[in-house]
Copies of this chain bind each other. A is one copy, B any other.
Amino acid sequence: MAFNFTVTKECKNSRARLGQLETTHGVIQTPVFMPVGTQATVKTTTPHELEELGVEIILSNTYHLYLRPGSDVVAEAGGLHQFMGWNHPILTDSGGFQVFSLGPLRKIAEEGVTFRSHLDGSKHFISPEKSMDIQMELGADIVMAFDECAPYPAEREYVKISKDLTLRWAKRCQQAHTRDDQALFAIVQGGMYKDLRKESALELIELDFPGYGIGGLSVGEPKEIMYEVLEDLVPLLPGKKPRYLMGVGSPDCLIEGVLRGVDMFDCVWPTRLARHGMVITSRGNMAVRNLPFARDFTPIEEGCKCYACRNFSRAYIRHLLKANEVLGIRLTTIHNIAFLTRLMQEIRAAIAADQLLEYSRHFFQAFGTEK
């Protein structure tokens, strides 16, 4: 088994920690943010650009790749790394979250989920076993157990049933998963109910997975509630295993998550924001496509070393965005990924120096919060 996680440093005045995650395709420094490449591409970028940006691992989506081009095509190409030309670590989600997001198009049963494709309406069925089959065909370094993600808000009774189903499915995933070059993470559910979260964590820990996802957060609840759940939940998780907060990627949530002991994050937000003509800066988010930047010949952010900031002005990028030129969203995407990659580097440096609380204070003074 090529997977190994080592905590190399624990912060003195918070739960933050540094780690090294060894996978089949290389070593990742944690805490880490994973850009999302839904359809086997981090939208608008090449693998080469991601490397240059210092990205160490990306996430790709099982549901989307299963429907298109088909996991059999990816397998025939030699797996997802080979197919998309990315020779570094990849994590695939289980398809669960996307399937549940289909709403009326899906039906949940003990055996699995029946749903209709958002592309052509065709009928499909994904069970825990099927999710494992697909993810084994895709060949990512880290794969996720098929779970049910309860919506927010949800009644306690619904969340309990859902959490119990997620546990039974996690067991079936563990049975079905046989590739020893992949690490299978379980996903803790339980909504915003502390006791259910605790039950979910303890039950899954008993099954001894190599890592634990924290699902069902960042689904519409206030950020304070998410932070509270993390505060209660993370101490229950095994100290020697990676903790992955799913679907979280704004700078403030990344810092707050790390402070509460999270090692891994992913989110479409920074790249989606970029495609809406918005860039992340140390002084908050900026709508570079707006009129005030029409004659602003400074870079998005002074001192940023990304390709966009080294070569182009806000005025030029605004022009490209207004004119619907692809280069516009390429440049905003590059900048936003660069911003988050640098943020995580700074966070790691701050942990190493036991300075994360100070770093966090300074960061929020300039950035503001979005609470």
Contact = CB atoms under 8 A, between A and B. Distances in A.
Nearest to A324: B39
A323 B69 CA distance: 9
Nearest to A86: B311
Nearest to A333: B326
A208 interface: no
B316 A83 contact: yes
A215 to B, nearest CB: 26
Contact of A316 (B84, B316, B319, B329): B84
A320 B77 contact: no
Contacts of A329: 326
Interface residues of A, number: 37
Contacts of A44: 326-327, 330
A247 to B, nearest CB: 21
Contacts of A68: 319, 322-323
Interface string A294-320: 110100000000010001110110111
A48 interface: yes
Interface string A77-91: 110000111000000
B325 A39 contact: yes
A44 B323 CA distance: 12
Interface string A23-40: 000000000000000011
B77 A41 contact: no
A326 B325 contact: no
Contacts of A84: 316
Contacts of A311: 46-48, 85
22 contacts: A39-B320, A41-B325, A41-B327, A43-B325, A43-B327, A44-B326, A46-B307, A46-B327, A47-B311, A68-B319, A68-B323, A69-B322, A73-B294, A73-B319, A76-B295, A77-B297, A77-B315, A77-B316, A78-B297, A83-B313, A84-B316, A326-B330
The 9 closest A-B pairs by CB, nearest first: A69-B319, A44-B326, A85-B311, A39-B323, A41-B327, A41-B325, A326-B326, A83-B316, A77-B297
Given A46-B330, A69-B322, A73-B294, 14 more contacts: A39-B319, A39-B325, A43-B326, A44-B326, A47-B311, A68-B319, A69-B294, A76-B295, A76-B297, A77-B313, A83-B315, A84-B316, A85-B316, A326-B330
